[in-house]
Chain A
């Protein structure tokens, strides 16, 4: 049995009426439509909260758009140089976008931005659904939270800054984000909640922040909220940003919704990203056993593919608020995306679908990033295999008890809660060579030795080894690209192209799963911004804005201590060949000198100096 998601028609109509009203208010106030021209600055201290609005200049919207772009601009200004990501002075930012709140499909998203406690570099995650819509009605374009509370509390944000308040909630300690959300909904406290689980409370460096069953996963924003003793955030507001041309927005919303039902999104709608696993196994790009092999074999891949998962739990389908794609595939009620499937499956040697689903459920309940959790456990499994650790942990083991230890920093879990980079530093014995991270962020589910344009993308991505900020895997799977030997003359440009495309979508914000239905993203992105904001965006100004955002991210990292030495893969990828499911050599390792030269060429192409030093992005 499958349940099908349906477009949210009544909400779209109500939204259109709201935008007519918002447009009139916006016109009277002379501001940019789609935005409010201000942020909410929230300072926490002990049991007190002080909130005030601060205006933003119009130029910021032209130069940084919104979402991750606006987030990078704000983080550079509000994070003190060199701040400890878990110190009270370190800010965490909820950043909205011009398209959020419009009837345009897949736009119900916000960016969550901070200095990552895992990497010490910029962290800009995205999360979806109704909390995003509710939060924008605070009447601001971002919420900047600084300081810390004295005890675990709920932070209530209100359209009226004087009504922002905190309420101690020691009784919620140890609960999952979903349980807090359910409790708040049942008791009428709030309909939509952004919350952390036990891992965030325990300052696990890859703890997530969750809302509506979705997660801002990578980089440990959950630990930043945990350090501030914020268990949950609720919001109340009625503000509407309005759009410059409501009729055009409505027409484009219908058009985009229709396109979102086409063949370019069929994979996401009909199959889900979990269908990648069998394909990637066949292409021998599926990392397994801590990147010791790039395939698990057809029989095992079938067990973890959607049909195998469905045998372990009923398959159902859902979608985010305001989304007409509906990519959310669940098995026995558990949402499963490819990255989770790879990280808690083949990467850890797990090939039992029930065991995989149980681990995914545990990560969601505990508030752990599935990629970093799987990566850290796979690293520890290999350490045990090599005799560097004497823990009773082997590839293929049940992950659930270990995930619980990580989330509570219990025993060995305390070390794994630090992530692979720090764990390798403490374990020693040459383990850094197979601690699979870049800048401290664990690698996603693509074998870089067999996708060498992606290898460069992983090295240079601003938040570390990351498939969402660098979509260079797409470049490797293009006709005419030799994915086993990156062309040094082409690879930097291909990486920049895919990075910039991702930045554009993450700043507007539009879901990346819509990208196949938007074949001319720069032209259409400019059109969307013109009809929503009224600002005279065109393709050229949009490309300049995206280049500015790349510069802002790099400037932040540079200020926080980045050097070229960070832009590299661990030794395994340069010293060991790719092996298939039978341990036979399938492809050679990555040439170290060639990749280093490509990294330099990438920074040069970004307009940076010989050591990667930034030009002034302001």
Chain B
């Protein structure tokens, strides 16, 4: 399974801290995420992808953008607000 951890605004919108999804391509994962946590649509997830208000990082490191990227079993994705300032 792929674990998606939610922080900041995504957590607020989803009302959840994490979600388990089947591995697959990024676009498939995001579609499954939208179905599992509909509160993420449209501010965090929009038109099958990420909105400009959110970022997705593999284990909190590399930001994912390619919708065709293959997300393997056991991966941990971190979904955060795009606004970083403090």
Q: How far is the CB of B65 from chain A (nearest CB, A)?
A: 4
- Asked if A267 meets B65 with Cβ closer than 8 Å, knowing A275-B8, A284-B60, the reply is no
Residues B60 and A273 in contact, CB atoms below 8 Å apart: no
B81 an interface residue at 8 Å Cβ cutoff?
A: yes
Q: Which residue of A lies closest to B56 (CB)?
A: A479
Distance, CA A36 to CA B7, complexed state (A): 46
Distance, CA A473 to CA B84, complexed state (A): 7
B5 an interface residue at 8 Å Cβ cutoff?
A: yes
A282 an interface residue at 8 Å Cβ cutoff?
A: yes
Residues A267 and B60 in contact, CB atoms below 8 Å apart: no
Q: How far is the CB of A344 from chain B (nearest CB, A)?
A: 14
B1 an interface residue at 8 Å Cβ cutoff?
A: no
Hey, what's the 0/1 contact readout for B1-13 against A, CB within 8 Å counting as 1?
A: 0000101110010
B31 an interface residue at 8 Å Cβ cutoff?
A: no
A389 an interface residue at 8 Å Cβ cutoff?
A: no
Give B1-57 interface residues, CB cut-off 8 Å to A.
Answer: 5, 7-9, 12, 43, 53, 55, 57
- Asked if A445 meets B7 with Cβ closer than 8 Å, knowing A282-B60, A477-B63, A479-B65, the reply is no
B71 an interface residue at 8 Å Cβ cutoff?
A: no
Residues B85 and A471 in contact, CB atoms below 8 Å apart: yes
- Contact-size category for A: 35 or more
Distance, CA A273 to CA B83, complexed state (A): 10
Distance, CA A412 to CA B42, complexed state (A): 54
Interface centre among B9, B43, B85, B86 (most CB of A within 10 A): B86
- Asked if A263 meets B43 with Cβ closer than 8 Å, knowing A279-B8, A282-B60, A477-B63, the reply is yes
Give A242-286 interface residues, CB cut-off 8 Å to B.
Answer: 263-264, 266-268, 270-271, 273, 275-276, 278-279, 282-284
Q: A282: which of B5, B64, B81 is its contact (CB, 8 Å)?
A: B5
A543 an interface residue at 8 Å Cβ cutoff?
A: no
Q: Which residue of B lies closest to A473 (CB)?
A: B84
A337 an interface residue at 8 Å Cβ cutoff?
A: yes
Residues A283 and B80 in contact, CB atoms below 8 Å apart: yes
Distance, CA A271 to CA B9, complexed state (A): 8
Q: Which residue of A lies closest to B43 (CB)?
A: A263
Residues A337 and B85 in contact, CB atoms below 8 Å apart: no
Q: B80: which of A266, A268, A279 is its contact (CB, 8 Å)?
A: A279
Distance, CA A268 to CA B85, complexed state (A): 9
B43 CB contacts on chain A under 8 angstroms: 263, 266
Residues B78 and A513 in contact, CB atoms below 8 Å apart: no
Q: How far is the CB of A521 from chain B (nearest CB, A)?
A: 14
- Asked if A278 meets B85 with Cβ closer than 8 Å, knowing A271-B12, A479-B65, the reply is no
Residues B84 and A445 in contact, CB atoms below 8 Å apart: no
Interface centre among A263, A337, A480, A513 (most CB of B within 10 A): A263
A474 an interface residue at 8 Å Cβ cutoff?
A: yes
A to B CB contacts below 8 Å, 27 in the list: A263-B43, A263-B53, A264-B53, A266-B43, A267-B8, A267-B81, A271-B9, A273-B86, A275-B81, A276-B86, A279-B81, A282-B7, A283-B61, A283-B80, A339-B86, A342-B86, A445-B86, A467-B85, A473-B85, A474-B84, A478-B63, A479-B55, A480-B63, A513-B85, A515-B85, A516-B53, A516-B83
The 7 tightest CB contacts between A and B, nearest first, are A338-B86, A273-B86, A279-B7, A479-B65, A263-B43, A283-B60, A479-B63
